[in-house]
Amino acid sequence: MSESSDLRMTRIPLNHGTGRMPALGFGTLIPDPALTITATRDALAAGFRHFDCAERYGNEREVGQAFQTGLAAGRIVREEIFVTTKLWNTNHRPERVEAAFEASRERLGLEYLDLYLSHTPFAFQPGDNQDPRDQNGNVIYDHGVTLLDTWKAMESLVDRGKCRAIGLSDIGLDELKPIYEAAKIKPSAVQVESHPYLPETELLKFCQEKGIVLLAFAPLGHGIRPGPLEDPIIVAIAARVGKTPAQVLLAWAVQRGTALLTTPRSAARAKENFDISPLPQDALDQINHIQTRQRLNPVVKTGVPGFIPQGK
């Protein structure tokens, strides 16, 4: 699937258009605005060329500011970076999709987006409140719109040249298949939690058969300890190959054909997370045989993000 033996340069061709997604992606789920700017800047400097954003993260303007600094300094050109953002659950009604997209695009300060994802398959009550709740604190869902309705509105954005590809996030195989079958423009990417404790093997197989990029979030298990970063097999492989556990987990993800999103917040971590190199086959086999199974982020069950701080 990939086109380079240098893992850091791996770009995965998309099934729609001519775009190629850099396998190593930087995720912008960073609550602090100032840290968003410095971390995005440091990621660019370290070599990351793929950036994952979302209207729900509340920091597209800061991410855009870091892009503008990099672009203005002439260090990078727009075509070199691959930028994704996501439609939030309160904007699933078809008549809300374009306005939500344009607002994100404007905040990011870009003329086009490379990829637009529906953030989750769950539609929430439409409106400006991103976290609509009833008096008992339960999320108010919107049952008047289907994911396919939303998808068709997203297809129209591609048809009109506003974004180059579209995809889905936090979706399981059973929900993905009907969208894939009905879609005029097939999903180019599916963003889900994935790491050695949640390899999503069946979903990955389907995606690879259909040319869909599986874009793994939490490749380091969201940094939760104990977790994949402290797994004895990962730690032993890291010692053997002279890399850090994080680098082992990221290399494994790229070598199995997925793209990934990681969120280093300092320049040193950005360099570390970008500096991956291929693992030997026996190490890949060992990781593939890890038996622990753990989902860390419950967002797929409710559409409520697990790691967005209160007040955002």
Ligand X SMILES: NC(=O)c1ccc[n+]([C@@H]2O[C@H](COP(=O)([O-])OP(=O)(O)OC[C@H]3O[C@@H](n4cnc5c(N)ncnc54)[C@H](OP(=O)(O)O)[C@@H]3O)[C@@H](O)[C@H]2O)c1
Contact map string, positions 222 to 251, toward ligand X, x by CB under 6 A: xx-----x--------------x-x-----
Q: Is 171 in the site for ligand X (CB under 6 A)?
A: no
273 binds ligand X (CB under 6 A): yes
Q: Which of residues 116-135 bind ligand X (CB under 6 A)?
A: none
Q: How far is CA 192 from CA 164, 258, 283, in A?
A: 20, 11, 24
83 sits near ligand X (criterion: CB under 6 A): no
CB closest to ligand X, residue no: 27
User: Which two structure tokens, joined as six digits, stand for 186?
Assistant: 């097939």
- Give the whole-angstrom CA distance, residue 80 versus residue 71: 10
Taking CB under 6 A as the rule, does residue 218 contact ligand X?
Answer: yes
Which stretches of the chain are assigned E, i.e. beta strand? 11-13, 20-22, 24-27, 50-52, 82-87, 115-118, 166-169, 189-193, 213-217, 259-262
- Smallest gap from residue 266 Cβ to ligand X (A): 7
263 binds ligand X (CB under 6 A): yes
Burial group, residue 14, by CB count within 10 angstroms (0-12, 13-18, 19+): buried
- Tell me: does residue 220 bind ligand X (CB under 6 A): yes
User: Which residue among the candidates 57, 112, 116, 197 is catalytic per the annotation?
Assistant: 57
Size of residue set near ligand X by CB under 6 A: 28
Q: How far does CA 309 lie from the centroid of its chain? A: 18
Helix-, strand-, coil-residue percentages of the chain, each rounded to 5: 45, 15, 40
For 186, 199, 303, the CA distances from 177, given in Å and listed in that order, are 11, 19, 19
Q: Is 57 a catalytic residue?
A: yes
Residue range at the interface with ligand X (CB under 6 A); choices 10-18, 99-107, 212-220, 278-286: 212-220
Cis bond before residue 226 (omega within 30° of 0)? yes
Which residue from 121, 187, 199, 305 is in contact with ligand X, where contact means CB under 6 A? 305
Task: Name the one range near ligand X by CB under 6 A: 65-73, 123-131, 232-240, 266-274.
Answer: 266-274
Which of 22, 219, 227, 303 touches ligand X by CB under 6 A? 219
Given candidates 19, 27, 58, 167, which one binds ligand X under the rule CB under 6 A? 27
Contact by Cβ (8 Å): 180, 173: no
Q: Using the Cα atoms of residue 149, residue 144, residue 192 and residue 288 in order, give the sign of their dihedral.
A: negative
Residue 280 touches ligand X, criterion: CB under 6 A? no
Residues 6+ apart with CB under 8 A from 68: 109
Measure CA 28 to chain center. Answer: 9
For ligand X, the closer CB: 161 or 311: 311
- Within 281-300, the residues that bind ligand X by CB under 6 A are 297, 299
Q: Which stretch binds ligand X (CB under 6 A): 27-35, 91-99, 125-133, 152-160?
A: 27-35
> Which residue ranges make up the site for ligand X (CB under 6 A)?
27-29, 52, 169-170, 191, 217-220, 222-223, 229, 244, 246, 261-265, 269, 272-273, 297, 299, 305, 307
Q: List residues with catalytic annotation.
A: 57
